[in-house]
A = this chain, B = another copy of it.
Amino acid sequence: MALPRTPGSSPVPAPGDLLAHPRPSLAIDVAVLTVVPEGPDGAPALAVLLLRRDAAPKAGAWGLPGSFVRERERLAGAVLRTLADKCGISGLAPRQLHVFDDPGRDDRGWVVSVAHVDVVPVERLEPALAARDDLALAPIAPRGTNGAGATSPVDVPGRQTSLPFDHDEIVALAVDDLRERYRAAPDPGGLVREPFTFLALRRTHDAVIGEPQQKDTFRRQMLPLLVEDGEIARGGVGRPARLYRRAADGPRVG
Protein backbone atom coordinates (compact mmCIF):
# COMPACT_ATOMS: atom_id res chain seq x y z
CA MET A 1 0.00 0.00 0.00
CA ALA A 2 1.18 3.50 -0.77
CA LEU A 3 2.33 5.69 2.01
CA PRO A 4 -0.05 8.40 3.14
CA ARG A 5 0.84 11.69 1.54
CA THR A 6 0.52 15.15 2.85
CA PRO A 7 -2.78 16.66 1.82
CA GLY A 8 -2.41 18.67 -1.31
CA SER A 9 0.56 16.84 -2.70
CA SER A 10 -0.96 14.95 -5.61
CA PRO A 11 -4.38 15.87 -6.97
CA VAL A 12 -4.41 12.72 -9.06
CA PRO A 13 -5.49 9.81 -6.85
CA ALA A 14 -3.74 6.52 -7.07
CA PRO A 15 -6.54 4.08 -7.90
CA GLY A 16 -7.59 1.97 -4.95
CA ASP A 17 -5.76 4.11 -2.47
CA LEU A 18 -8.17 6.36 -0.71
CA LEU A 19 -5.50 7.94 1.42
CA ALA A 20 -3.85 9.38 -1.65
CA HIS A 21 -6.58 11.98 -1.91
CA PRO A 22 -6.09 15.31 -0.27
CA ARG A 23 -8.69 15.37 2.47
CA PRO A 24 -10.32 18.35 4.15
CA SER A 25 -10.75 18.83 7.84
CA LEU A 26 -14.37 18.03 8.60
CA ALA A 27 -16.11 20.15 11.20
CA ILE A 28 -19.56 20.67 12.61
CA ASP A 29 -21.24 23.79 13.89
CA VAL A 30 -24.48 23.78 15.79
CA ALA A 31 -27.13 26.38 16.50
CA VAL A 32 -28.79 25.34 19.74
CA LEU A 33 -32.17 27.03 19.82
CA THR A 34 -34.46 27.34 22.79
CA VAL A 35 -37.35 29.42 24.06
CA VAL A 36 -36.62 31.72 26.99
CA PRO A 37 -39.55 32.66 29.24
CA GLU A 38 -38.76 36.39 29.06
CA GLY A 39 -37.62 37.75 25.72
CA PRO A 40 -36.75 41.36 24.91
CA ASP A 41 -40.43 42.37 25.03
CA GLY A 42 -41.32 40.35 28.12
CA ALA A 43 -42.96 37.51 26.22
CA PRO A 44 -41.34 34.12 25.63
CA ALA A 45 -38.96 34.29 22.69
CA LEU A 46 -36.48 32.30 20.63
CA ALA A 47 -32.83 32.43 21.61
CA VAL A 48 -29.62 30.80 20.45
CA LEU A 49 -26.75 29.50 22.54
CA LEU A 50 -23.45 31.31 22.00
CA LEU A 51 -20.01 30.34 23.22
CA ARG A 52 -17.06 32.68 23.66
CA ARG A 53 -14.26 31.36 21.51
CA ASP A 54 -10.93 30.69 23.09
CA ALA A 55 -9.29 28.94 20.17
CA ALA A 56 -7.19 30.32 17.40
CA PRO A 57 -9.20 32.44 14.96
CA LYS A 58 -11.45 35.15 16.37
CA ALA A 59 -10.59 34.28 19.94
CA GLY A 60 -12.77 36.18 22.38
CA ALA A 61 -15.65 36.58 19.95
CA TRP A 62 -19.05 35.03 20.51
CA GLY A 63 -19.94 32.28 18.08
CA LEU A 64 -21.69 28.97 17.69
CA PRO A 65 -20.29 25.84 19.29
CA GLY A 66 -18.41 23.69 16.83
CA SER A 67 -15.55 21.30 16.51
CA PHE A 68 -13.74 18.92 14.25
CA VAL A 69 -15.20 15.52 13.57
CA ARG A 70 -13.11 12.69 14.96
CA GLU A 71 -12.15 9.60 13.11
CA ARG A 72 -15.11 7.46 12.11
CA GLU A 73 -17.37 9.61 14.27
CA ARG A 74 -20.92 10.33 13.08
CA LEU A 75 -21.79 13.96 12.47
CA ALA A 76 -24.64 13.87 14.96
CA GLY A 77 -22.30 12.27 17.46
CA ALA A 78 -19.77 15.03 16.98
CA VAL A 79 -22.49 17.61 17.62
CA LEU A 80 -23.57 15.93 20.83
CA ARG A 81 -19.98 15.52 21.97
CA THR A 82 -19.28 19.18 21.28
CA LEU A 83 -22.26 20.28 23.33
CA ALA A 84 -21.28 17.99 26.16
CA ASP A 85 -17.58 18.82 26.19
CA LYS A 86 -17.58 22.50 25.36
CA CYS A 87 -20.91 23.57 26.86
CA GLY A 88 -21.69 20.96 29.47
CA ILE A 89 -25.04 20.39 27.84
CA SER A 90 -26.76 17.23 26.75
CA GLY A 91 -28.21 17.93 23.33
CA LEU A 92 -30.99 15.93 21.83
CA ALA A 93 -31.35 15.30 18.12
CA PRO A 94 -29.21 17.40 15.79
CA ARG A 95 -30.51 17.96 12.29
CA GLN A 96 -28.30 18.73 9.31
CA LEU A 97 -28.87 22.09 7.68
CA HIS A 98 -26.19 22.74 5.09
CA VAL A 99 -22.57 22.12 4.23
CA PHE A 100 -20.35 25.19 4.16
CA ASP A 101 -17.50 24.52 1.78
CA ASP A 102 -15.98 27.86 0.84
CA PRO A 103 -12.26 27.08 0.77
CA GLY A 104 -11.52 30.52 2.20
CA ARG A 105 -13.92 30.36 5.11
CA ASP A 106 -11.24 29.41 7.63
CA ASP A 107 -7.77 30.91 7.60
CA ARG A 108 -6.27 27.81 9.11
CA GLY A 109 -6.80 25.69 6.05
CA TRP A 110 -9.28 23.63 4.11
CA VAL A 111 -12.16 23.16 6.53
CA VAL A 112 -15.56 21.91 5.44
CA SER A 113 -18.26 22.37 8.05
CA VAL A 114 -21.67 20.79 8.33
CA ALA A 115 -24.13 23.15 10.01
CA HIS A 116 -26.67 21.66 12.39
CA VAL A 117 -29.62 22.78 14.44
CA ASP A 118 -30.70 21.33 17.77
CA VAL A 119 -33.58 22.29 20.04
CA VAL A 120 -33.30 22.06 23.80
CA PRO A 121 -35.66 23.11 26.59
CA VAL A 122 -34.18 26.06 28.41
CA GLU A 123 -34.18 24.18 31.74
CA ARG A 124 -31.45 21.95 30.39
CA LEU A 125 -29.30 24.96 29.55
CA GLU A 126 -29.73 26.88 32.78
CA PRO A 127 -27.23 25.01 34.99
CA ALA A 128 -24.44 25.52 32.46
CA LEU A 129 -25.42 29.14 31.83
CA ALA A 130 -25.40 29.91 35.54
CA ALA A 131 -22.06 28.26 36.17
CA ARG A 132 -20.04 29.75 33.33
CA ASP A 133 -19.44 33.17 31.83
CA ASP A 134 -18.37 31.99 28.38
CA LEU A 135 -21.90 30.83 27.57
CA ALA A 136 -24.81 33.10 26.71
CA LEU A 137 -28.28 32.95 25.28
CA ALA A 138 -28.72 35.61 22.61
CA PRO A 139 -32.24 36.57 21.52
CA ILE A 140 -33.15 36.08 17.89
CA ALA A 141 -33.73 39.48 16.32
CA PRO A 142 -37.32 39.73 15.11
CA ARG A 143 -36.76 39.74 11.34
CA GLY A 144 -34.54 42.53 10.14
CA THR A 145 -35.14 44.54 13.28
CA ASN A 146 -31.57 44.73 14.37
CA GLY A 147 -29.60 47.44 16.12
CA ALA A 148 -27.73 49.82 13.81
CA GLY A 149 -26.30 48.34 10.65
CA ALA A 150 -25.99 44.86 12.05
CA THR A 151 -26.84 42.16 9.56
CA SER A 152 -26.94 39.35 12.06
CA PRO A 153 -30.18 37.56 12.84
CA VAL A 154 -28.95 37.51 16.44
CA ASP A 155 -28.65 40.24 19.03
CA VAL A 156 -25.04 39.46 19.80
CA PRO A 157 -23.86 40.47 23.30
CA GLY A 158 -21.42 43.32 23.73
CA ARG A 159 -20.09 45.45 20.92
CA GLN A 160 -20.02 42.60 18.45
CA THR A 161 -22.35 43.18 15.49
CA SER A 162 -22.24 39.81 13.83
CA LEU A 163 -21.11 36.23 14.33
CA PRO A 164 -17.83 34.92 12.94
CA PHE A 165 -17.46 32.55 9.97
CA ASP A 166 -20.82 31.64 8.42
CA HIS A 167 -22.51 31.52 11.80
CA ASP A 168 -25.01 34.28 10.99
CA GLU A 169 -26.17 32.27 8.02
CA ILE A 170 -26.37 29.10 10.08
CA VAL A 171 -28.60 30.78 12.66
CA ALA A 172 -30.86 32.09 9.92
CA LEU A 173 -31.15 28.60 8.43
CA ALA A 174 -31.76 27.08 11.84
CA VAL A 175 -34.54 29.52 12.66
CA ASP A 176 -36.21 29.02 9.29
CA ASP A 177 -36.02 25.26 9.69
CA LEU A 178 -37.49 25.35 13.16
CA ARG A 179 -40.30 27.72 12.20
CA GLU A 180 -41.26 25.58 9.26
CA ARG A 181 -41.48 22.52 11.45
CA TYR A 182 -43.48 24.29 14.13
CA ARG A 183 -46.03 25.40 11.56
CA ALA A 184 -46.68 21.79 10.63
CA ALA A 185 -46.72 19.91 13.91
CA PRO A 186 -47.13 20.42 17.65
CA ASP A 187 -43.81 21.14 19.36
CA PRO A 188 -41.62 18.91 17.20
CA GLY A 189 -38.60 20.06 19.18
CA GLY A 190 -39.98 18.82 22.48
CA LEU A 191 -39.70 22.19 24.20
CA VAL A 192 -42.84 21.72 26.30
CA ARG A 193 -42.88 19.07 29.00
CA GLU A 194 -45.63 16.50 28.51
CA PRO A 195 -48.45 16.49 29.27
CA PHE A 196 -49.19 20.11 28.40
CA THR A 197 -52.16 22.40 28.02
CA PHE A 198 -53.13 24.02 24.77
CA LEU A 199 -52.13 27.38 26.21
CA ALA A 200 -48.61 26.23 26.99
CA LEU A 201 -48.29 24.71 23.54
CA ARG A 202 -49.53 27.82 21.83
CA ARG A 203 -47.27 30.14 23.83
CA THR A 204 -44.29 28.08 22.70
CA HIS A 205 -45.38 28.16 19.08
CA ASP A 206 -45.91 31.91 19.35
CA ALA A 207 -42.35 32.30 20.58
CA VAL A 208 -40.82 30.05 17.93
CA ILE A 209 -42.74 31.47 15.02
CA GLY A 210 -42.37 35.00 16.28
CA GLU A 211 -45.97 36.05 15.99
CA PRO A 212 -49.12 35.09 17.89
CA GLN A 213 -51.11 32.15 16.57
CA GLN A 214 -54.90 32.29 16.32
CA LYS A 215 -56.36 30.51 19.35
CA ASP A 216 -59.13 28.57 17.64
CA THR A 217 -57.41 27.93 14.32
CA PHE A 218 -54.33 26.71 16.14
CA ARG A 219 -56.42 24.34 18.21
CA ARG A 220 -58.16 22.93 15.17
CA GLN A 221 -54.88 22.40 13.34
CA MET A 222 -53.03 20.72 16.17
CA LEU A 223 -55.79 18.68 17.76
CA PRO A 224 -55.58 15.76 15.30
CA LEU A 225 -51.86 15.46 16.08
CA LEU A 226 -52.35 15.18 19.84
CA VAL A 227 -53.74 12.59 22.22
CA GLU A 228 -55.65 13.47 25.36
CA ASP A 229 -54.34 12.63 28.79
CA GLY A 230 -56.27 13.75 31.93
CA GLU A 231 -57.19 17.05 33.50
CA ILE A 232 -55.32 19.85 35.20
CA ALA A 233 -57.00 21.75 37.99
CA ARG A 234 -54.70 23.21 40.67
CA GLY A 235 -52.54 26.11 39.64
CA GLY A 236 -54.47 28.07 37.05
CA VAL A 237 -57.02 30.70 37.77
CA GLY A 238 -59.67 30.03 35.13
CA ARG A 239 -61.36 26.92 33.92
CA PRO A 240 -58.98 23.96 34.09
CA ALA A 241 -57.56 22.90 30.77
CA ARG A 242 -57.26 19.40 29.38
CA LEU A 243 -53.81 17.91 29.06
CA TYR A 244 -52.36 16.47 25.87
CA ARG A 245 -49.35 14.59 24.58
CA ARG A 246 -47.89 14.50 21.10
CA ALA A 247 -49.41 11.68 19.09
CA ALA A 248 -47.35 8.51 18.89
CA ASP A 249 -46.57 8.96 15.20
CA GLY A 250 -45.07 12.33 16.10
CA PRO A 251 -41.36 13.09 16.34
CA ARG A 252 -38.89 12.45 19.12
CA VAL A 253 -39.92 12.26 22.74
CA GLY A 254 -38.35 14.84 25.02
Chain A contact residues, CB within 8 Å of chain B:
4, 6-8, 11, 13, 15-16, 18-19, 21-26, 55-56, 68-75, 96, 98-99, 101-103, 108-112, 114
* Contact between chains at B98 and A18 (CB < 8 Å): no
> Which residue of chain B has the shortest Cβ distance to A112 in the bound complex?
B26
- The oligomer's copy count stands at 2
CB pair A22 B103 closer than 8 Å: no
Given A56-B16, A112-B26, answer yes or no on A7-B4 (Cβ-Cβ < 8 Å). yes
9 residue pairs bridging A and B, Cβ less than 8 Å apart: A11-B71, A15-B56, A16-B108, A18-B108, A21-B70, A22-B71, A74-B103, A75-B101, A96-B99
What is the interface of chain A mostly: helix, strand, loop, or mixed?
loop
Inter-chain CA distance A108–B20, complex, in Å, is 12
Q: Contact between A109 and B11 (Cβ–Cβ < 8 Å)?
A: no
Contact of B110 with A71 in the complex, beta carbons under 8 Å: yes
Q: Please name the residue on chain B nearest to A104 by beta carbon.
A: B72
